[in-house]
């Protein structure tokens, strides 16, 4: 299966701390995307990193991609209670936008 | 810009009944996806359309699930007959669908929560 797998499955931190989530996948990808899902809601796209990129920033988010290890990490700096959500990585293959989602990391940021 | 619309938001049915979900993607988006998300799991792709053609339906249980995207815009997903294990949130998403998918983020609708009793 191409499906990405996130690690850890759950993470609980205090507000202000950094949160790091990892994603591993199995085959070559075109790009990797991270999504956030608040409880009971749809997914929201956070950031996309292409296979020829190694690092990308967006606000408090930092994503890295290591294609040799087939892994990615999402770092949320200075976390806030509002960051409490499930975070999913999605790997996009080269052919026609096929996406595969992992099982997610459930982040809880305590105020 | 309007987002992806889905209806209904909630549906409760008994097993063996049929149900249909509707999705209206963002205008101009060529690719449309239907996902099934069981509680505590990540979204599982059921079917992917590029305009009105099916790109991938390898994980669609075709004995009971069907989907169509007439005219390459709106889409409906049907389950007939429903089973208890079909209880899940059904998410619709769309993307630009460029041939080079390097920029193709997906935009998700709010989902339909299905409960099968």
Query: Quick one: three-class SS letters along chain A?
Result: CCCCEEECCEEEEECCCCEEEEEECCCCCCEEEEEEECCCCCEEEEEEEECCCCEEEECCEEEEEECCCCEEEEEECCCCHHHCEEEEEEEECCCCCCEEECCCEEEEEEC
CB burial string B8-23: b at 16+ within 10 A, e below: eeebebeeeeebebeb
Identify from A96, A104, A105 which residue to disrupt to test chain B contact, counting B C-beta atoms within 10 A and taking the largest count. Answer: A96
Give A84→chain B minimum CA distance, Å: 15
Residue A97 with chain B: CB contacts under 8 Å: 31, 48, 50, 55, 95, 97, 101, 104
Instruction: Read off the pLDDT of each residue in B9-30 and give the average, rounded to a whole number.
Output: 95
Considering only CB atoms, A41 lies closest to which of B101, B104, B110, namely: B110
Residues 61-80 of A with CB under 8 A from B: none
List the structure tokens of B111.
């989902």
Separation in Å, CA B14 to CA A92, B10, B113: 36, 14, 14
What's the average model confidence in pLDDT over B15-36? 95
- Please give the C-alpha separations between residue B76 and each of A47, A110, B50, in angstroms, as whole numbers: 29, 40, 15
pLDDT, average across residues B60-67: 96
Instruction: Reply yes or no on whether the pLDDT at B39 is more than 80.
Output: yes
- Separation of CA B116 from chain center: 17
- At A40-60, the pLDDT tens digits run 678 999 999 999 999 999 999
Q: Looking at the partner chain, which of B55, B93, B101 has a beta carbon nearest the beta carbon of A92?
A: B101
Q: Residue A3 has what pLDDT?
A: 67
Q: Is B8 left (phi over 0), alpha (psi -120 to 50) or beta?
A: beta
Mean per-residue pLDDT over chain B, rounded:
91
Query: Which of A42, A86, A89, A95 has the most B C-beta neighbours within 10 Å, making it the best mutation to test the interface with B?
Result: A42
Residues B45, A100: C-beta atoms closer than 8 Å: yes
A44, A97, A104 ranked by CB distance to B95: nearest: A97
- pLDDT tens digits, one per residue of B91-103: 999 988 765 555 6
Partner residue facing A103 (CB), from B41, B45, B104:
B41
Residue A94 has pLDDT above 80, yes or no: no
């Amino acid at each position: 299966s191409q499906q990405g797998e996130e690690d850890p499955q759950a993470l609980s931190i205090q507000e202000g701390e950094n949160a790091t989530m990892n994603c591993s996948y199995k085959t070559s990808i075109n790009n990797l995307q991270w999504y956030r899902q608040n409880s009971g809601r749809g997914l929201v796209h956070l950031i996309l990193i292409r296979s020829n990129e190694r690092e990308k920033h967006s606000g408090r988010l930092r994503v890295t991609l290591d294609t040799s290890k087939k892994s990615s990490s999402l770092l949320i700096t200075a976390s806030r209670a509002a960051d409490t959500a499930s975070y999913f990585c999605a790997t996009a293959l080269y052919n026609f936008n096929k996406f595969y989602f992992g099982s997610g990391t459930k982040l809880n940021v305590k105020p | 810009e309007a987002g992806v619309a889905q209806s209904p938001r909630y549906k409760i049915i008994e097993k063996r009944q049929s149900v249909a979900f509707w999705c209206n993607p963002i205008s101009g988006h060529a690719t449309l996806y239907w996902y099934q998300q069981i509680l505590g799991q990540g979204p599982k792709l059921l079917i992917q359309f590029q305009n009105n053609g099916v790109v991938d339906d390898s994980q669609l249980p075709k004995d009971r699930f069907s989907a169509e995207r007439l005219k390459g815009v709106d889409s409906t997903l049907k389950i007939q007959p429903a089973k208890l294990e079909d209880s899940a949130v059904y998410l619709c998403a769309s993307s630009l669908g460029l041939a080079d998918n390097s920029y193709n983020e997906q935009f998700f609708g709010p989902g339909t929560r299905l409960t099968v009793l």
